[in-house]
Amino acid sequence: MNRRNFLRNSSLLAGTMLLSNLQFADAKGKPKPRKIPSNEKVNLACIGIGNRGGDIIRELNKTGHCNIVALCDTDMGANHTLNVINMFPDAPRYQDFRVMFDKMANQIDAVCIGTPDHSHFPATMLAMSLGKHVFVEKPMAHTFNEVELMMRGAKKYGVVTQMGNQGHSEANYFQFKAWKEAGIIKDVTAITAHMNNPRRWHSFDSNMKNMPFGEPVPATLDWDTWLGTEFWHDYNHDYINGQWRCWYDFGMGALGDWGAHIIDTAHEFLDLGLPTEINMLYANGHNKFFFPYSSTILFKFPERGDMPACDITWYDGIDNTPPVPAGYGNVELDPNIPPPTTGQIQPSKLNPGKIIYSKELTFKGGSHGSTLSIIPEEKALDMAAKLPEVPVSPSNHFANFLLACKGQEQTRSPFHIAGPLSQVFCLGVIAQRLNTRLLFDRKTKKITNNKIANQMLVDTPPRKGWGEFYKL
């Protein structure tokens, strides 16, 4: 059964799993976070230790602010996990985070979670309920409702949280903040955000009629735990090791992967919150199993105080680069591509980034920590003397989290900031899956023009044995 039919037919969606009805259990008696003395290191457990998870562990360890006290991965002993295992040979090893917490919760101060998108939620909720601080990769979770519950959980349990969009602790963060406070960035009405590098995670046939056929499960892999809350799929090698990112059932596509590195500062400092409309403008290779090869999504945000309404248009795919304004600067251009009706040349290649349009100025920016520049160059020269001094970051994203665990800093991408941004991605993914226009009520947090889309805010009910995480 495909997910759309499952959603339509499931009576469980009318029950306690619905966003509007779901409530937390009483937290009385739950452990509180340990107060970590300034001269001590944070005892860190690592869930997901291969590929990107391994990178996170190395960066956290490099700060000198943590002890790696436990390693957990569903494929413990595979090639992509062995490097981290060999780095910390004395750390206890687990394949199931639930077992890890059962055996050594009292030895853990914090966790880092570098697992596929669909599995962020249960590990995060369990960790927070046990009083453990959480660093989780972007996007925060796989569904709008899961993000909502994670935000509530962070507030309820009083733990430190950080989403892993590491550029949010680098130069772009501090520049955007300073320029916004100085009135350089103001009256923003439109943002073009784009990721037009090759879609490295898949090249599947958009005409496929079924999900991939099952294959023997590798001896090192705990497939049941890897699936987590997701309904049952037979194992296939195209689901793991980064490939998971392309499937609607497991990942959040290019938007979830790169949006947190491109849109993050604008979303926070322009106080965008949640959109009122999400419109799928273009989809190449749309199907019900995996993300389009390329897509264009329009997000409409309303007026906010004295700030005007703002549109964000997201472009992904190598055949789907956005038009650029006059004075944009150097791009690789294909002379065989005719200009659009606007008279602007369409670049054949464009580094991931953004173009921010305000009533008076236009800004060009990249991804992650890349700083903004004013375009065209003549305008930048004219504005140079008016630009405020930008402070240097006191800590990178990983040190920021660990220092916050010890009460010495506040995280720059906590769940109450990263959560609404992640929910924007969730809404965009729903529009991609259904290839349609959605109207969203910011107050009730419901999609008002499409019943199936509104159900997808919650998604399918979790597998048996995994529903408890939605009640923590």
Amino acid at 218: P
Residue of 187, 111, 110, 138 lying closest to 356 (CA atoms): 187
What is the C-alpha to C-alpha distance for residues 73 and 14, in angstroms, rounded to an integer? 34
- List the strands of the sheet with 42-47, edge to edge: 93-94, 66-72, 42-47, 110-113, 133-136, 161-163
Based on the domain organization, do 232 and 321 belong to the same domain?
Answer: yes
Tell whether 10 is covered by a domain. Answer: yes
Based on the domain organization, do 385 and 403 belong to the same domain?
Answer: no
Based on the domain organization, do 157 and 174 belong to the same domain?
Answer: no
Tell whether 153 is covered by a domain. Answer: yes
The structure tokens 């491109």 sit at 262
Domain end, chosen from 354, 389, 424, is at: 389
What's the domain count of the chain? 2
pLDDT tens by residue, the chain, 472 residues: 444 444 444 434 433 344 433 334 445 667 899 999 999 999 999 999 999 999 999 999 999 999 999 999 999 989 999 999 999 999 999 999 999 999 999 999 999 999 999 999 999 999 999 999 999 999 999 999 999 999 999 999 999 999 999 999 999 999 999 999 999 999 999 999 999 887 656 789 999 999 999 999 999 999 999 999 999 999 999 999 989 999 999 999 999 999 999 999 999 999 999 999 999 999 999 999 999 999 999 999 999 999 999 999 999 998 899 999 989 987 766 666 666 555 566 666 788 999 999 999 999 999 999 999 999 999 999 999 999 999 999 999 999 999 999 999 999 999 999 999 999 999 999 999 999 999 999 999 999 999 999 999 998 899 999 999 999 9
Structural domain of residue 302, as residue ranges? Answer: 170-389
Tell whether 439 is covered by a domain. Answer: no
| DSSP tally for the chain: helices H, then strands E | 14, 17
Based on the domain organization, do 30 and 133 belong to the same domain?
Answer: yes
CATH number at residue 215: 3.30.360
What is the C-alpha to C-alpha distance for residues 367 and 173, in angstroms, rounded to an integer? 11
Cβ proximity of 252 and 245 under 8 Å: yes
Based on the domain organization, do 108 and 184 belong to the same domain?
Answer: no
What is the C-alpha to C-alpha distance for residues 358 and 310, in angstroms, rounded to an integer? 9
Based on the domain organization, do 105 and 251 belong to the same domain?
Answer: no
pLDDT at 332: 67
User: DSSP letter string over 194-225?
Assistant: EE-S--TT----TT--SPPPP-PPPTT--HHH
CATH number at residue 64: 3.40.50.720
Based on the domain organization, do 132 and 177 belong to the same domain?
Answer: no
Tell whether 447 is covered by a domain. Answer: no
* Long-range Cβ contact pairs of 35-39 (< 8 A, separation 24 or more): 35/407, 36/109, 36/405, 36/406, 36/407, 37/406, 38/406, 38/407, 38/408
Based on the domain organization, do 114 and 185 belong to the same domain?
Answer: no
Structure tokens at 406: 């010890």
Based on the domain organization, do 196 and 220 belong to the same domain?
Answer: yes
What is the C-alpha to C-alpha distance for residues 49 and 54, in angstroms, rounded to an integer? 5
What is the C-alpha to C-alpha distance for residues 387 and 399, in angstroms, rounded to an integer? 29
Q: Decide: pTM greater than 0.85.
A: yes
Based on the domain organization, do 177 and 159 belong to the same domain?
Answer: no
Structure tokens at 83: 């490097």
Tell whether 384 is covered by a domain. Answer: yes
Tell whether 443 is covered by a domain. Answer: no
Based on the domain organization, do 288 and 338 belong to the same domain?
Answer: yes
Amino acid at 270: L
Q: Which segments of 316-434 does DSSP mark as H helices, in order?
A: 377-383, 397-405, 415-434
For the chain, give the longest Cα–Cα distance.
68
pLDDT at 343: 54
Based on the domain organization, do 18 and 158 belong to the same domain?
Answer: yes
Tell whether 437 is covered by a domain. Answer: no
Tell whether 309 is covered by a domain. Answer: yes
